[in-house]
């Protein structure tokens, strides 16, 4: 069973220990790093794109 | 002169409120949301109107309690008793200092006598002269976390007189928010940084794939939020692959030292996010109540 079961996005990031890395990548607009971290926390492309749009990292 | 009553608030329901038998007075704020600097976004938040006083996200830190407003350009503002600005200095402080009439002559002379009103030491001396006490580093930090000159002035008045409590924060927030729950949290936002803040009320909505003991909590009472699922960014059976049914709510209290971090909820499964989200290790929340929700969130 995934450790991210039922978790919010932030919760996934926190559990993975990548929360700060994620927001740093967002701040730096490092899209590749943002994607990489989101993949690490087992989010799928559809969810990742939703998040990238939210942070204005994807049109 | 600043009126003591200007900052008073007759919020007895706040002063006397009990939560699960735990008395929570003004200096042990039962709800709290940290300074906006805790969760700043680079993008416009969908709830920006609802949380209009929050600053956008900039960067996350693990220890919200020790955060210092990094916005820079802090300036001590000196005002006369009428609120007219006498002097703005770029000394790294956010203090708003009222120079009373009896100290005006000395203040004016000191301004004329210095070559650099931005000098930190000069400003420390002037603040001490005008206020009658030295602002501590802790107090300066607290000032940097307040949202307006009004609040800063209120905080200083509180330190000066010992009266007025936290109401300066409330008044400010009342001017911006109409949602009672947000007002309560705003009170705490207005005083974030004071050492007196020790505990917070937190909530966790769960059910289905989400359990009652996860790391994600919110300081906002879900019962008072329209569209909580949307604003909390709950997994809802979409691409996330999981579903938080929102069938239950846990009400808890957490020692603020155990709040590891804070962010706004991120969109997921079509839910927009935006609500504040606290990260707390399981076992660090004192559970006060678990209740079912009908209809589910």
| ipTM score assigned to the predicted complex | 0.97
Contacts A46 to B, Cβ<8 Å: 238-239
Interface of B with A in 53-72 (CB under 8 A): 57-62
Contacts B260 to A, Cβ<8 Å: 14
Residues of chain B scoring pLDDT < 50: 1-73, 164-197
Distance from CA of B270 to the nearest CA of A (A): 8
Inter-chain CB proximity B43 and A54 less than 8 Å: yes
Helix axes B180-191, B167-174, angle to 10 degrees: 130
Closest chain A CA to residue B246: A6
- Is position B275 within any domain? yes
List the Cα angle A34/A39/A40 in 5-degree steps.
Answer: 100
pLDDT of residue B94: 84
What share of chain B in percent tops pLDDT 70?
A: 59
- Is position B208 within any domain? yes
- Is position B159 within any domain? no
- Is position B220 within any domain? yes
Q: Each residue of B47-79: b (16+ CB within 10 Å) or e?
A: beebbebbbebbebbeebbebebeeeebbbbbb
Question: Range of B286's domain?
Answer: 1-67+166-297
pLDDT of residue B150: 66
**Per-residue pLDDT tens digits for B175-211:** 333 333 433 444 444 444 333 346 788 999 999 999 9
- Is position B50 within any domain? yes
B108 and A CB contact within 8 Å: no
- Is position B90 within any domain? no
How many independent structural domains does chain B possess?
1
- Is position B268 within any domain? yes
Contact partners, residue A14, CB within 8 Å, separation at least 6 = B215, B216, B260, B261, B279
Chain A with chain B: Cβ pairs closer than 8 A: 104
Asked if residue B257 lies in contact with residue B30, where contact means CB atoms within 8 angstroms, the answer is no
**Per-residue pLDDT tens digits for A14-51:** 999 999 899 999 999 999 999 999 999 999 999 999 99
Closest chain A CA to residue B206: A6
Q: Which of A26, A44, A54 is the best mutation test for B, with the most CBs of B within 10 A?
A: A54
């Amino acid at each position: 069973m995934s450790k991210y079961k039922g978790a919010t996005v932030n919760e996934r990031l926190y559990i993975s220990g990548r929360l700060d890395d994620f927001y740093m990548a967002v701040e730096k607009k490092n899209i590749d790093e943002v994607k990489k971290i989101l993949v690490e926390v087992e989010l799928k492309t559809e969810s990742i794109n939703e998040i990238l749009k939210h942070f204005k990292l994807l049109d | 002169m600043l009126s003591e009553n200007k900052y008073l608030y007759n919020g007895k329901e706040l002063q006397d409120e009990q939560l699960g038998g735990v008395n929570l007075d003004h200096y042990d704020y039962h709800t709290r949301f940290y300074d906006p600097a805790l969760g700043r976004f680079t993008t416009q938040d969908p709830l920006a109107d609802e949380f209009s006083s929050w600053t956008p996200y900039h960067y996350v830190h693990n220890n919200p309690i020790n955060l210092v407003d990094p916005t820079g350009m802090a300036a001590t503002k000196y005002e006369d008793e009428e609120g007219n600005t006498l002097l703005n200095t770029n000394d790294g402080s956010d203090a708003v200092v009222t120079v009373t009439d009896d100290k005006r002559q000395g203040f004016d002379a000191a301004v004329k006598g210095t070559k650099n009103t931005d000098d930190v030491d000069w400003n420390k001396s002037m603040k001490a002269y005008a206020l009658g006490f030295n602002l501590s580093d802790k107090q300066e930090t607290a000032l940097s976390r307040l949202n307006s000159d009004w609040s800063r002035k209120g905080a200083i008045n509180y330190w000066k007189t010992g009266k007025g409590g936290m109401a300066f924060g409330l008044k400010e927030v009342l001017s911006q928010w109409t949602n009672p729950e947000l007002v309560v949290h705003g009170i705490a936002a207005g005083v974030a940084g004071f050492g007196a803040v020790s505990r917070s009320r937190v909530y966790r909505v769960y059910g289905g794939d989400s359990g009652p003991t996860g790391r994600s909590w919110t300081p906002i009472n879900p019962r008072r939020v329209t569209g909580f699922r949307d604003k909390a960014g709950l997994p809802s059976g979409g691409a996330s692959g999981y579903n938080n049914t929102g069938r239950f709510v846990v009400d808890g209290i957490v020692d603020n030292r155990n709040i590891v971090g804070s962010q706004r909820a991120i969109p997921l499964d079509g839910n927009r996010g935006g609500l504040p989200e606290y990260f707390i290790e399981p076992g660090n929340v004192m559970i006060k109540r678990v209740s079912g929700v009908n209809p589910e969130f």
